[in-house]
Chains A and B, each alone.
Chain A
Amino acid sequence: AQKVTQAQTEISVVEKEDVTLDCVYETRDTTYYLFWYKQPPSGELVFLIRRNSFDEQNEISGRYSWNFQKSTSSFNFTITASQVVDSAVYFCALSEARGGADGLTFGKGTHLIIQP
């Protein structure tokens, strides 16, 4: 069965520091999709990125970047020059090729605290 592990329960950094959130996944499928969602204090999950298993190119979006490595089954998320507004719980999630019927498998989340 699929599994997503976010080993870092909580990370606290000072504003402007770079921070990396780790995500390790397990799946038997060769086709799958990985996601990152942000859950700010308001509670509503916000989609950040989707990556399919055939595309190992890293992606950068402003201060956010993602490093996907199939060899280590990892999909890590880095925030550069962190800001207080980045404080939230971040979830990594996996979807297998069976489609939405299984929903998303989420990690337990990493609570990121950016101190001013």
Chain B
Amino acid sequence: GAGVSQSPSNKVTEKGKDVELRCDPISGHTALYWYRQRLGQGLEFLIYFQGNSAPDKSGLPSDRFSAERTGESVSTLTIQRTQQEDSAVYLCASSSSGLSYNEQFFGPGTRLTVL
């Protein structure tokens, strides 16, 4: 498809396990973003990639969170030793560049539940 895709759509895991979330941006989009949406809340910005590099990782909630992007395409968000507070929908977005006026196109999200 032409839009942003994310997998899995749902993930249930046990506390303490590691999880990996995947994002496929729109082809040709150089900028990629990860957000977290807790139940009933707005979106919380986590990290931004321009190409394969992330200039600023300070938005990641803790050192258990990491993200990478390869080939200026797919990105993975990894959460190690998951905690119940990590339960949320994780949204990925891409845009044609990292300029602030560019529209971001969002994927459907991955709903993570930590038991």
The residues of A with any CB-CB pair to B shorter than 8 Å are 4, 6, 32-33, 35, 37, 42-45, 47, 50, 52, 91, 93, 95-109
Contacts and interface: CB of A to CB of B under 8 A. Distances in A.
A19 B15 CA distance: 43
A4 B44 CA distance: 12
Interface of B: 31, 33, 35, 40-46, 48, 50, 55-56, 59, 89, 91, 93, 95, 97-109
B101 A95 contact: yes
Contacts of B56: 101-102
B33 to A, nearest CB: 5
Contacts of B101: 33, 50, 52, 95
A47 B105 contact: yes
Nearest to B49: A100
B98 A101 contact: yes
B106 A44 contact: yes
B42 A47 contact: no
A91 B42 contact: yes
B100 A44 contact: no
B103 A103 contact: no
B100 A33 contact: yes
Contacts of A109: 41-42
Closest A-B pairs by Cβ, 7 of them: A103-B45, A100-B98, A106-B42, A45-B106, A95-B100, A108-B42, A106-B43
